[in-house]
Structure 1
Amino acid sequence: MEKWLFWAEKSKIIIDWVVERTCIAIMALLTIIVTYQVVTRYIFDSPSAVSEVLSRYMFVWLVLIGGAYVFGLREHMAISYVRDKLSPKTGVLVDIFTEWAIAIFAYIVMWQGGYKASVRQMWQLDSALEIPMGVIYSALPISGALILVYFIINQLKLIHQFQKLSVKG
């Protein structure tokens, strides 16, 4: 178990680095595009349809990839009042169950459903950007896959934590 945990931690560091840089790049580009949109709309009175649509899609990508990243950090929104009232060992079991529920959703809806939606929409082009809508929809299976990878890493940590608590008590 220790070896798996070690490699999971090393992998998580690399994945986190890539996902962080991706979110930073999307946010930087989004800032530039929205600034451009504001300038063309209010100064030149000629709004850009491309920048408006592109910023909308980039925001969706940022939210989905950022959401996967936050899940990996285990800093997502949680109502922990009940869990905090339980014993540490039972609290870890609740965390394991919660992670499983999120992983099932990510697998069925985001990864499988998102992949099917992406493939179905590859023939349809966006009117402003003239790229396949499937490329835009691919944010769903990508973020779903990231959540599943983070799920595996989180489960290894939680199981290790549960084992340590079981030995103590």
Structure 2
Amino acid sequence: MRAVKEALDKILAAACVVLFTVLVLTVSWQVFTRQVLNAPSGWSEELSRYVFVWLGLFGAALVFSERGHIAVDFIVRKLAEGVQRVIAVVVQLAITAFAVVVLVWGGWRASRLAWETDLTSLPVQVGPLYLVMPITGMIITFYAVYHVVLVLRRKEPAIGGHDTPGALE
């Protein structure tokens, strides 16, 4: 499981770098055509919107891989370790439910419904662009299961992020 996680981490990191580069170049082109040429490029605005969504979802999955999202855990940190582990598992299961229902199932439905819908400025359909939701949902589900297994085996602390309170100070 660790090898799959590490491979996914590398793929997501590379995808985020590529998507961020495309986003910067596309937005720069949009600004250049609007401000310098006084003839705004229509396709760059639409492309940047979809690249931004893909970047945001892939970036969120990558941060989730390291349990790096913001968590309000000051009360949980005061509880016994066993209770912390139970809460950690419940949280991961809730995240899994969200990822499966909203991202995988809902994203697949949205993609399927929009599959033949053409974009106005780009020569592609909307449906394939929506596939980022089920893809990201499956990745987040994998990471959630991965973390549950590690927490239950006591190979990972119940509370993600910093191991000790006040570690940021």
TM over 0.5: yes
Q: After the TM superposition, which of the residue ranges 97-106 and 68-77 deviates more from structure 2?
A: 68-77
| CA displacement at 1:55 relative to structure 2 | 0.3
Matching residue's letter, 1:62: L
Given candidates 86, 89, 106, the residue that maps to 1:113 is 106
Residue 44 of structure 2 corresponds to which residue in structure 1?
51
Residue 14 of structure 1 corresponds to which residue in structure 2?
7
Identical residues among aligned pairs (%): 30
Residue 132 of structure 2 corresponds to which residue in structure 1?
139
In structure 1, list runs of 5 or more residues that go unmatched. 1-7
| CA displacement at 1:9 relative to structure 2 | 1.4
C-alpha contact (below 8 Å) 1:68/1:147 kept by paired residues: yes
C-alpha contact (below 8 Å) 1:93/1:162 kept by paired residues: no
C-alpha contact (below 8 Å) 1:64/1:139 kept by paired residues: yes
In structure 2, list runs of 5 or more residues that go unmatched. 159-169
Bigger RCO of structures 1 and 2 (CA < 8 A, at least 6 apart): 1
Residue 84 of structure 1 corresponds to which residue in structure 2?
77
| CA displacement at 1:163 relative to structure 2 | 10
Distance 1:10 1:104 in 2: 24
Given candidates 22, 25, 36, the residue that maps to 2:18 is 25
Matching residue's letter, 1:37: Q
Question: Once superposed, which parts of structure 1, at least 4 consecutive aligned residues long, lie more than 3 Å away?
Answer: 162-165
Given candidates 50, 58, 66, the residue that maps to 2:59 is 66
Residue 32 of structure 2 corresponds to which residue in structure 1?
39
Equivalenced residue count is 158
Given candidates 117, 130, 141, the residue that maps to 2:123 is 130
Output the TM-score relative to the length of structure 2.
0.89
